[in-house]
Amino acid sequence: MDRYLQTFVTVVEKCSFTRAAEELHLTQSAVSREVDTLEKRFGVKLIDRTNKFVQPTKAGEILYHQAKDILTQYEQTHRIIADLANEAAGSLSIGSGYTFGEYLLPRTIARFKASYPLITPKITIMNSKRIVQQVLQRQVDLGIVEGHLQPDDLEVRPFAKDEMTVIVPRSHHLALSHIEEVDIDDLMDETWILREPGSGTREVVDSVFTTLAAHPKSIMEFGSSQIIKESVEAGLGISMISKWVIQKELQYELLHSVRIKGHLITRDFSSIVLKSQFRWKTLDLFLNFLSAANFA
């Protein structure tokens, strides 16, 4: 039955019998037969088929979400039982925030793979809000988020500190005057270039503004740290960003870093997993590896 459910899930996600067949290395007729078998077993139509599209019916949507949970539980149970006798191996799906995922995770994975070559991490980069959703829905095995959160259904483990700093272009008067500390009120007439709501970085910046009763007159929003750095460098505005993100830009004097006077702005990098009585070896190994790693 798990094979039929996997076929159905793939058809829904690919929105096509042809693409599902390619993904599963089956013939299109075999995929159709397996979906037909499910429809006969449940006694309802699960898929609407036309020449232009394939989409689940209401019953199909219910089965899709239930099937995803069943397949995930099956895979996790298989891994836990296999761990009892075997060396740690297999896939490990990780959802990571942009800062850690793009600037720290690649080297972390390289060191982890050197110790555990049979484990294959699969990385997806997304904002913190989506990571929480993906972990809760069992779409990823663990998440790495930036900032503070404590959902009831998740186990949160802070494993590293991150310092945030204001960045300005090299043509800015603060850079030209070599000023390294400034009152935040003196920056409120600037255009602030920030991450989108839902990101861990934006959560920290909004918290700083609220705590210091700061109200920028102009805000622009972009979806990645790289675009923000390029925009600040081009003179579009200023930003507040992780020091990990701007190491090369500071080294080559492409940007100038400024501290907020009287305030050290930090946040946690944390791993998040579902609270569970059982945890397979591969996941535990990576969680312990993160906790022991030195990110100073």
pLDDT digits (tens, 9 = 90+) for 115-130: 999 899 999 999 888 9
The pLDDT assigned to 247 comes to 92
Q: What is the pTM assigned to this prediction?
A: 0.69
What token pair was written down for 84? 């009892």
Tokens of 115: 């110790």
- The string of pLDDT tens digits covering residues 130-182 is 999 999 988 899 999 987 777 778 999 999 999 999 999 999 999 999 999 99
Q: What is the pLDDT of residue 1?
A: 63
- CATH fold of the domain at 90-160+268-292: D-Maltodextrin-Binding Protein; domain 2 (3.40.190)
User: Looking at this protein, which amino acid is placed at residue 57?
Assistant: T
CA distance 289 to 49: 47
pLDDT score, position 294: 85
Q: Residue ranges per domain, the chain?
A: 2-83, 90-160+268-292, 164-266
DSSP 205-264: HHHHHHHTT---SEEEEES-HHHHHHHHHTTS-BEEEEGGGGHHHHHTTSEEEEEETT--
Q: Say how far apart CA 285 and CA 289 lie, in whole Å.
A: 6
Domain 2-83 has CATH 1.10.10.10: yes
Query: Roughly how many angstroms between the first and final C-alpha of the chain, as a whole number?
Result: 49
CATH of 164-266, one of 3.40.190.10, 3.10.110.10, 3.40.640.10, 3.30.70.260: 3.40.190.10
Percent of the chain whose pLDDT exceeds 70: 96
164-266 has the same fold as 90-160+268-292: yes
Q: Encode pLDDT of 184-222 as tens digits.
A: 999 999 999 999 998 889 999 999 999 999 999 999 999
Share the mean pLDDT of the chain.
90
Q: pLDDT tens, 15-50?
A: 889 888 898 999 999 999 999 999 999 999 999 887
Q: How far apart are CA 166 and CA 279, in angstroms?
A: 40
pLDDT of 85 strictly over 70: no
- The answer to whether the beta carbons of residues 162 and 242 sit under 8 Å apart is yes
**Region class of 27: left (phi > 0), else alpha (psi between -120 and 50), else beta:** beta
pLDDT digits (tens, 9 = 90+) for 258-294: 999 999 999 999 999 998 756 788 899 999 999 998 8
Q: Is 136 exposed, middle or buried (0-12, 13-18, 19+ CB in 10 A)?
A: middle
